[in-house]
């Protein structure tokens, strides 16, 4: 595999001429995904961790174009919900290679996983609560399981993603050995799993590796020779701010290896954000420029319905004026059309001075961007275009208001679907009504 692509792609590294042409052709707001960058990021990561089993954490971006790209690159898929299992299968994943990390799973999700596991015994279900294993057993499931461990150490860019110390996630560390003994009599216990947090950069790596060492010690205590794998999750960050440096994955791989130590079981890793974050941008058009005593307010057609991360996590996303990158910079506040003060992408950010009809690019939108897009204010979700070399194709059409209201209209005549999945995927990816 080739690992020669640069370790970070800044918003200013995109071809502004091409972005302008895409915005003219497809309208705005518009997600633009570079599938070559997705593949390059995966290959760089997998090349650094060549002794590990690398799985893509689908929750970062479940778009079919992303999943197909990664499956073609040789990645396996880790899913955090039954819908992600279905989407992975529809994209071409072998169900026997999938790993399902169940977090307080709804009944329908467990029904689906149990049925899938009966047909595909290679499926692994990871449970983070005793209840989850009891509920699986009640459904007749006796296949491959892993225990999600709560190591009591959380890392990452925001307290809402520091899963390693959040009681919602995983079995308390000290309870795992007894549970492992119990589960070996009820299922095929194949692994331990942990996830410490998301967006790990710089000094966060110290705590991340400390948690890895703690989970590795636990694996040895419960008998790592009897486990197929120990999964240390993902969480590896990418630089969103211009001042942040990218991770040196060769150095990170050495630190992780030191933290793991000798382990008979295979090491699994689940990058998500690292693979897709800098592979996508959002294009948005300026519609309003308002001078106020406090700041210059720049209104755009994207909103927190397009990208909710700044409102939800106070996340920083780099921005650039695609139409006039060489114009003199000016501190501006950029926000969308939603009737809430939370609908702001930046405040007093120096940007090449925007004017009405200018095209702006919002960078690092690939991780949890479209995944968290919503229909607040009855706004249709945007289109998404995928680039592959010199080619481009629409991989999600732009929604209309008719799409927003479709489920209400159909509710008058359609039978109720309690699963939310609609169709049942077969192993070859086809859907059956």
109 Cβ neighbours under 8 A, 6+ residues apart: 81, 82, 102
Q: Specify whether 339 is catalytic.
A: yes
Judge whether 307 and 277 are in contact, CB under 8 Å.
no
- Joined together, the tokens standing for residue 337 give 């059309």
Q: What are phi and psi of 333, to 5 degrees?
A: -110, 125
407 Cβ neighbours under 8 A, 6+ residues apart: none
Judge whether 318 and 394 are in contact, CB under 8 Å.
no
Alpha-carbon dihedral sign for residues 65, 69, 74, 78: negative
Name the nearest CA neighbour of 170 among 185, 190, 186, 154: 154
Pairing of strands 319-321, 76-79: unpaired
Alpha carbon distance 385, 95 (integer Å): 28
364-to-22, 31, 73 alpha-carbon distances in Å: 18, 11, 21
Long-range contacts of 324-331 (CB under 8 A, 24+ apart): 324/352, 324/353, 324/355, 324/358, 325/12, 325/16, 325/352, 326/352, 327/352, 327/353, 328/352, 328/353, 329/353, 330/296, 331/295, 331/296
Catalytic entry in 79, 209, 338, 339 = 339
Residues designated catalytic: 339
């Amino acid at each position: 595999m080739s690992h020669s692509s640069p370790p970070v792609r800044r918003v200013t590294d995109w071809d502004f001429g091409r972005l302008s042409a895409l915005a003219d052709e497809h309208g705005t707001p518009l997600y633009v995904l570079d599938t070559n960058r997705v593949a390059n990021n995966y290959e760089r990561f997998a090349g650094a961790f060549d002794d590990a089993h690398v799985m893509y954490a689908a929750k970062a971006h479940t778009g079919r174009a992303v999943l197909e790209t990664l499956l073609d690159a040789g990645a396996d898929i880790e899913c955090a919900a039954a819908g992600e299992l279905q989407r992975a299968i529809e994209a071409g994943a072998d169900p026997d290679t999938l790993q399902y990390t169940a977090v307080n799973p709804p009944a329908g999700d467990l029904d689906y996983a149990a049925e899938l596991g009966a047909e595909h015994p290679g499926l692994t279900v990871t449970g983070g609560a005793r209840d989850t294993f009891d509920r699986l057993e009640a459904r007749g499931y006796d296949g491959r399981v892993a225990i999600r461990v709560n190591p009591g150490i959380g890392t990452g860019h925001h307290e809402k993603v520091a899963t390693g110390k959040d009681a919602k996630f995983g079995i308390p560390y000290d309870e795992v050995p007894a549970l492992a003994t119990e589960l070996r009599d009820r299922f095929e216990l194949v692994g331990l799993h942990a996830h410490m947090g998301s967006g790990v950069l710089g000094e966060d790596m110290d705590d991340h590796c400390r948690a890895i060492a703690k989970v590795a010690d636990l694996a040895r205590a419960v008998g790592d020779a009897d486990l197929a794998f120990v999964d240390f999750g993902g969480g590896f960050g990418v630089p969103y701010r211009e001042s942040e440096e990218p991770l040196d994955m060769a150095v990170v791989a050495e630190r992780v290896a030191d933290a793991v130590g000798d382990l008979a079981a295979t090491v699994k890793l689940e990058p998500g954000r690292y693979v897709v974050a800098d592979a996508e941008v959002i294009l948005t058009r300026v519609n309003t420029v308002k001078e106020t005593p406090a700041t210059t307010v720049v209104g755009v057609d994207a909103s927190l319905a397009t990208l909710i991360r700044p409102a939800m996590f106070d996340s920083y996303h780099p921005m650039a004026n695609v139409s006039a990158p060489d114009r003199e910079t000016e501190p501006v506040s950029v926000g969308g059309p939603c009737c809430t003060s939370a609908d702001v992408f930046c405040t007093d950010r120096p940007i090449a001075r925007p004017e009405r009809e200018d095209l702006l690019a919002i960078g690092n939108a690939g991780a949890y961007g479209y995944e968290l897009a919503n229909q607040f204010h009855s706004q249709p979700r945007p289109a998404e275009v995928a680039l592959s070399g010199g080619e481009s194709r629409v991989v999600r059409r732009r929604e209309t208001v008719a799409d927003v209201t479709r489920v209400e209209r159909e509710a008058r005549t359609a039978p109720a679907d309690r699963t939310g999945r609609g169709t049942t995927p077969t192993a070859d990816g086809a859907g059956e009504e």
